Amino acid sequence: MDQPTSTDSKNDIRLLASNFFTWLLEPDQHDNAPLEVLCWAYADSMVCFSEILAICSFATLATHADAKLQAKLRLFRAEVEIPEDFLPFPQGLSGGSFQIASAIEILCTPEPKVASAVTDTVVAYLLKIRLTRRHRLSGLQVVAFQHPIDRFLVGTIKSVPGADTVLTKFVESRARNAEISLAGRGILVGKHGGLGPLYDCFSEACEALDVNPMPQLFIEQGPLGTRSLGIDQPIVVVSSATLSFLTRDELIFALGHELGHIKAGHLRYQAVAEGFRDTADLAADFTLGISKVLEGLTIGPVLSSWIRRAELTADRAGYLACQDKEVALRTILKLAGYPPSLYRELNSRTLVEQAAHLQEMLASSVFNRFYKLSQLWSAMQPFPILRAHELLEWLKDGYPEQLLDMSPAQMAKVQAWQLEDPILAEFTHVVVLIVADWAAIRYNLHPKQCRRIIRKLLLEGQSARNTNLACILQVNIILEKKSADSVLFTLTLLVYEGGKAIRTKIPISRSDSWDDVPKSYREEFIRSGQPSLEYSLYTA
């Protein structure tokens, strides 16, 4: 499926829906471009879930008036993966207080009562989802959701002999003072005392992420935001403004974000970074700013870089807690400063569009690359828009959704593999994206469906038989030695087309350092003594 290039038609939900309905009303039209554009917009979060359900509801009503439209409706439901339990108007609207004249009337000039009925149907389904208990990720470990650069930087710190002990001593007194201060000015949240609903919300987030025992939760006076502190006994702090402006689901994302920091072991390193920054500020007062300049040129960018990646890991945990992409994006948008008076107009599409635009700006010129280095390095928190972009990129893969559906045994198996060789896990993730995107274009399929299939082939050892990618016979990796310090990766695919097997080679754009070669590949390569070696990831 070729990705549409028309930005305007992709971003305007009204135009997208209008073009789709026009396509739906013409049963003999076999050009599925309007459907494909809508699917891509939905996959890129330019169209939200509730809007897709509304479009499906209108289309379902149209099929009651014209049965010839049912084949295209089934195709639409399959392409965008409408949940099977969403069945709007199974009996139509014939029993209501108004009559439907035709499919054209429903889709082009619907009566207010029809639009109201569609709204009621979508809202009822969304409420049903909200009331369904969230998945509990029993046995969840940080390796399942940790950002790869966060993992690398934390691993580097831990690899230094005695580093954890030294860092703990450095922050112990600071952390203790912060805890005492919080106990004096904050409000401890418990099951009783009028704060039971907040306690239940926090308990739900802990249960979803399998955080046990529950950390203490405090409320403090302050602007919109949450934070976490402590080392041996972590504490989560939520501001009074946050409780006023976030919905319950958004609050679960925010609390899950902080629990992600705790689960990932970030707190002591955060305390070191904050302590180092404060020390540098104090020293600057006594050295006329010279120490501040040196700090900015040396360790400052390293600490800032790690903290930003730590936030990306925590955002992933926030999603796994709330288990709703649009809730996660809305929360990030509110925390970025979206005016409370306009919350009724808030739409995550605004954030998605800005994230894509910012990425284009930062990659457009040498000046913008310099801006990215200087401004983003000096920030102790990542830009909210970049946070949204990184979260969306992670969600596009389809892995988070599969993670929510895994049994404890399946999750334990996947996490054990990730812990054994984290570089191999990250490398396989890259291969999944490359193969899926190649297959989507070659066989006119949607990337999300392809990624789900390829992930099952490469990670779970399932067969491609009885899937849309049954033609894939092999997925291999060729590792070739370029020099003593560098290597070259090539992906090879064996597919069955036109009655014969065809081999395709795809170069992999990746660091050529031996340090970035998966451990198992490196060991086998050294044992072989050959200049190149082929590894099998999947064989039908």
β-strand 532-539 against 500-507: which pairing, if any? unpaired
Contact (Cβ atoms closer than 8 angstroms) between residue 198 and residue 236:
no
Given a cut of 60, whether residue 429 has pLDDT beyond it is yes
Structure tokens at 401: 């959704």
Predicted pLDDT at 161: 66
Q: Could you give the angle at the alpha carbon of 50 between the alpha carbons of 311 and 37, nearest 5°?
A: 90
Interval 519-536 mean pLDDT? 88
118 with 88: CB under 8 angstroms? yes
Domain boundaries, the chain: 7-131, 142-396, 421-539
SS3 130: helix
**Across 433-437, average pLDDT:** 89
pLDDT of residue 508: 87
The arithmetic mean of pLDDT across residues 153-161, rounded, is 69
pLDDT in tens, 92-117: 555 455 566 688 888 888 888 888 88
What token pair was written down for 51?
């809007």
CA dist 491 and 475 (Å) reads: 7
Encode pLDDT of 163-178 as tens digits. Answer: 566 666 666 666 677 7
Compute CA 66 distance to the chain's CA centroid, rounded to the nearest angstrom. 39
Summarize the confidence of residues 7-18 as an average pLDDT.
69
The mean pLDDT value for 364-389 works out to 59
For the segment 54-82, the average pLDDT, to the nearest whole number, is 88
121-140 burial code (b ≥16 CB/10 A, e <16) = bbeebeeeeeeeebeebeeb
Q: Residue 536: in which H helix or E strand, if any?
A: strand 532-539
Dihedral sign (CA 407, 410, 413, 416): negative
The mean pLDDT value for 491-514 works out to 88
**The pLDDT of residue 519:** 84
| pLDDT for the residue 258 | 96
Torsion angle, alpha carbons of 146, 481, 506, 536, to 10:
-70
Task: For 200-222, give the secondary structure using H, E and C.
Answer: HHHHHHHHHCCCCCCCEEEEECC
Helix locations, 46-147, DSSP H: 49-65, 70-80, 103-108, 112-131
Q: How far apart are CA 289 and CA 146, in angstroms?
A: 36
Q: Over range 363-378, report the average pLDDT.
A: 50
Please report the pLDDT score of residue 471 as a whole number: 93
| Per-residue pLDDT tens digits for 294-345 | 344 444 555 666 777 889 999 999 999 999 998 999 999 898 888 888 888 7
CA–CA distance, 204 with 107 (Å, rounded to integer): 41
pLDDT tier, 374 (very low <50, low <70, confident <90, very high otherwise)? very low
Annotate 411-460 with DSSP letters as a single string.
HHHHHHHHHH-HHHHHHHHHHHHHHHHHHHHHHT--HHHHHHHHHHHHHH
Taking a C-beta distance cutoff of 8 angstroms, is the pair 290, 355 a contact?
Answer: no
Distance of CA 361 to the CA centre of its chain: 22
* Exposed e or buried b per residue across 268-287, where buried means at least 16 C-beta atoms within 10 angstroms of its C-beta: bbbbbbbbebeebeeebeee
Q: What per-residue confidence (pLDDT) applies to 440?
A: 87
The per-residue pLDDT for 308 is 75
Over residues 132-151, the mean pLDDT reads: 87
pLDDT value at position 194? 76
Decide if pLDDT at 25 tops 70. Answer: yes
With bands split at pLDDT 50, 70 and 90, how would you rate the model's confidence at 10? very low
| pLDDT number for residue 280 | 47
Query: Facing residues of 44 across strands?
Result: none
Is residue 197 pLDDT above 80, yes or no? yes
pLDDT at 284 over 50: no
How high does pLDDT run on average in the chain? 81
pLDDT in tens, 220-256: 998 999 999 887 789 999 999 999 999 999 999 999 9
Query: What is the structure's pLDDT at 287?
Result: 42
Give the strand order in the sheet containing 187-188: 187-188, 216-220, 235-239, 226-229
Q: Which of 75-79, 258-262, 304-308, 531-535 has the lowest mean pLDDT?
A: 304-308
Give the global pTM: 0.81
